[in-house]
Amino acid sequence: MLTERQRQIVNIAIKLVSEHGIQNLTIKNIAREIGFSEPALYRHFDSKFDIVMALLDRFQEISNFVLSKTEQANLTSIQKIEKFLFDRYKRFTEDPHTAKVMFSEGIFRDDPRYSHKMLSIMHQHANTVQEIIREGQLNEELRSDIEPKDLFKIIFGSMRLLVKQWCLADCNFNLILESRQLWLSVKKLIT
CATH label of the domain that carries residue 118: 1.10.357.10
Specify the number of domains making up the chain: 1
Which helix (DSSP H) or strand (DSSP E) does residue 94 occupy?
Answer: helix 77-94
User: Is residue 9 in some structural domain?
Assistant: no
pLDDT tens-digit series, residues 78-109: 999 999 999 999 999 999 999 998 887 677 77
**Whether residue 50 has pLDDT greater than 70:** yes
Residue 105: the pLDDT is: 67
User: Is residue 35 in some structural domain?
Assistant: no
User: Is residue 16 in some structural domain?
Assistant: no
Report residue 5's pLDDT band, with 50, 70 and 90 as the boundaries: very high
Rg of the Cα atoms in the chain: 18
pLDDT (mean) for 181-186: 97
| Interhelix angle 175-190/77-94, nearest 10 degrees | 160
Residue 93: the pLDDT is: 96
Residue-averaged pLDDT of the chain: 92
Q: What domain range includes position 161?
A: 50-190
Compute how many other C-beta atoms are within 10 angstroms of the C-beta atom of residue 50.
14
Do residues 136 and 70 make contact, with C-beta atoms less than 8 angstroms apart?
Answer: no
Residue 63: the pLDDT is: 84
User: Is residue 55 in some structural domain?
Assistant: yes
What percent of the chain has a predicted confidence (pLDDT) above 90? 69
Would the pTM of this model clear 0.85, i.e. be above it?
Answer: yes
